[in-house]
Amino acid sequence: MLDFHYPEIADKIWADRCLSVSQYMGCEYSFGNIFMWSFVFKTKIAYYKNCLITKGTGKNPSYCCPAGSADFKTIINALMEDAEQCGHPFKMFGLSRDCALMMEEQFPNQFDFTPYRDGFDYIYLTNDLINLEGKKYHSKRNHIAAFERSYKHSLEMISEKNIDECIKMNAAWVEENKDKDSESIAMEQKALNRGFEHYFELGFSGAIIRADEKPVAFTIGERLNDITFCTHFEKAFADVRGAYPIINREFAKAALRGYKYVNREDDTGSDGLRKAKMSYYPAIIFEKYKVSRRGEI
């Protein structure tokens, strides 16, 4: 049986090394994301044969694709053995199309692969987010222009000097929005508060937009792979026109030019969130698959 445990900050060094080898594009494959959401989704990790293995240990246990340098088939066999020893069905989640194809090649006709649209990531060209060129971004540019006309504004990178302001702004945002979907917001805040608590240890990067000196938007994320940054959270006050598009553009302009892509994660099945993410015209809608043994529920 594999030795799974809840992720700790000390795990970041070896986990990042494994993730760097695999260069996955899905948002599940960043240490900060795993760490922040671990107690929400009961996610545990294990180090085995130079690989990071991630397992959701809640009501329906399942594994992510292994990240690291070990033989793929060897690790999958170890995961199947772990599931058998733990007494639950073998399932996986967050697999890319490439990983699904590799599994089918290594284990032909043994598994069913089911895409789940609510978990597909939205991946954008960084230059598109910076430049907002063409008719399709006309409304974004209009909202930003209205913001710039209305407020004396500035962008600040999140630091030890201003992170408490982000935390206070987030608390105010929660008060404004908690009645919309209280359960989801409570889960999100549990993860985000953990991210704030360990922000610098996790190596996060983020920024605040001020309007007339008051924080009205913030964003945080981390390096996902050599060419991709992953945005984990972005919050703005709904009554401040242009706050969302300006934090998106200005942070990309200030901090993300070294990345080809920005992964802004999935839409969780929310119609409003899906519409907002599609309005930025993703370069890639990154498919993900769930895996189960053929014929097993």
Is residue 282's pLDDT more than 90? yes
In a domain, 270, yes or no: no
Q: Mean of the per-residue pLDDT values for the chain?
A: 96
In a domain, 279, yes or no: no
DSSP line for 70-121 = S-HHHHHHHHHHHHHHHTS--EEEEE-HHHHHHHHHHSTTSEEEEE-GGGPE
> Could you report the per-residue pLDDT of 2-39, keeping only the tens digit for each?
999 999 999 999 999 999 999 999 999 999 999 999 99
> Could you report the per-residue pLDDT of 187-234, keeping only the tens digit for each?
999 999 999 999 999 999 999 999 999 999 999 999 999 999 999 999
In a domain, 206, yes or no: yes
Same domain, 252 and 141: yes
pLDDT of residue 181: 79
In a domain, 15, yes or no: yes
Is residue 178's pLDDT more than 90? no
pLDDT of residue 205: 98
Same domain, 125 and 260: yes
Radius of gyration of the CA atoms of the chain, in A: 20
Query: Looking at residue 99, which CATH number applies to its domain?
Result: 3.40.630.30
pLDDT of residue 297: 63
pLDDT of residue 295: 78
pLDDT of residue 89: 96
Same domain, 84 and 188: no
Contact 130, 295 (CB under 8 A): no
Residue 179 banded pLDDT, cuts 50, 70, 90:
confident
Tally of domains within the chain: 2
Same domain, 145 and 247: yes
Same domain, 145 and 258: yes
214 DSSP β-pair partners: 211
Spell out the residues 6+ positions from residue 234 whose beta carbon is closer than 8 angstroms to its own. 217, 218, 219, 220, 244, 247, 248, 264
Domain enclosing residue 238, as ranges? 121-265
> Could you report the per-residue pLDDT of 125-154, keeping only the tens digit for each?
999 999 999 999 999 999 999 999 999 999
Residue 1 banded pLDDT, cuts 50, 70, 90:
confident
